[in-house]
Amino acid sequence: MTAATPLLELDRVGINLRTGGGIVSATRDVSFKVGAAERIGIVGESGCGKTLTGLAIMQLLPRGLARIDGAIRFEGRDLLKLSGRELRRVRGAGIAMIFQEPMSALDPVFTIGEQIVETILAHEAVSRREAKERAVDLLARVGIPLPARRAGEYPHQLSGGMRQRAMIAIALACNPKLLIADEPTTALDVTIQAQIIDLLVDLSETTGTALLFITHDLGVVAETCTRMVTMYAGEVVEDATVDDALVRPRHPYTAGLFSALPRLVERGAPLPSIPGRVPPLMAMPEGCRFRPRCPHAEEACTTAQAMREPEPGHRARCRRTGELQLEGTVG
């Protein structure tokens, strides 16, 4: 991998799912890059394809039910062309993932320490004793008190916040170059959420690990990420630095998400929202998928929309991106 090669590159990735009603396109033309040590937030409503994209990168979608088109390159190698053995070397050591719900992702019949040890032994030629010592160090590193004791406990014995920290410890066990965090603060209280976010950012800054943060929380992205990728109905509709997106979004959907953020308003004033909802996979609209909900839609929007670059480093999937004056969160 050369200095100009991105750590991760998704090139026109399409995820096609086999259903009882036939093959449906869950995502199409998903393209973005992640540089070394970069922190990118992927945002969008539920059903936009964020988690599917993360699972596709990890190659965790069921092969019999999902077909992935395009290319997913990690350090220049297309993950879609690797064998099962080669993929196992990449997962954990090169790319790791923190899943939404740790209670379902952690194995209930093994202790937390055993699950970290298993990850280390799968990728590194070290003794079990050394792996156990590293497991305790990792638990201490992610802020779990009494780490030696917690290493011998099972997932159900830990609180939600501790389980999420244990998940992070497992993900960091082999010092991955890329960490995918899929809604890592789901179902946690606000105080614990802030602690987990601070932990991830600190680990990224101190270890140089790139972070791909999948979330609904635009505030978290604004505070922690350097770039924001907006997804809608299985497509990337905007890709820009966080500062550029906040000041001047280039896609009406991104602007709609910003306008729906909670604000201090006069009592009784209506809360802004995006009308309608994300279309189902079996009934995607023709052309621009956001068109039925877009206040700026025109007849020409019924044709397929390509990504445009109105300014260097800022891309948007909208034919009117150069003429619309969309409001951001700051000005």
Residue 187 has pLDDT above 70, yes or no: no
Full strand arrangement of the beta sheet holding 314-316: 95-98, 178-182, 210-214, 39-43, 227-232, 235-241, 314-316, 308-311
The pLDDT, as a whole number, for residue 100 is: 82
Report strand pairing: 314-316 vs 308-311.
antiparallel
Three-state secondary-structure class, residue 331? coil
**Strand 22-34 and strand 235-241: pairing?**
unpaired
For the whole model, what pTM was predicted? 0.91
Q: In this model, does residue 106 exceed pLDDT 80? A: yes
Q: Map out the domains of the chain as residue ranges.
A: 8-225
Percentage of residues in the chain with pLDDT exceeding 90? Answer: 69
Q: What is the mean pLDDT of residues 242-271?
A: 87
What is the DSSP track for 234-288?
TEEEEEEEHHHHHH--SSHHHHHHHHTS-----TTPPPP--SS-PPPGGGPPSSS
**pLDDT tens figures, 129-183:** 999 999 999 999 888 999 999 999 999 999 988 998 999 999 989 999 999 999 8
Q: Quickly state the pLDDT bin for 266 (edges 50, 70, 90).
A: confident
**Averaged pLDDT of the chain:** 91
Burial class (CB in 10 A: 0-12, 13-18, 19+), 233: buried
- Which pLDDT value is given to residue 166? 93
CATH topology of domain 8-225: Rossmann fold (3.40.50)
The more confident residue out of 84 and 239 is 239
> What's the CA gap between 114 and 124, in Å, rounded?
15
Q: How large is the average pLDDT for residues 113-133?
A: 95
| pLDDT-derived band at 330, boundaries 50, 70, 90 | low
pLDDT given at position 207:
87
Q: Is the pLDDT of residue 75 over 80?
A: yes
> Which are the contacts of 190, defined by CB distance < 8 A and separation ≥ 6?
none
End-to-end Cα separation, the chain, in angstroms: 39
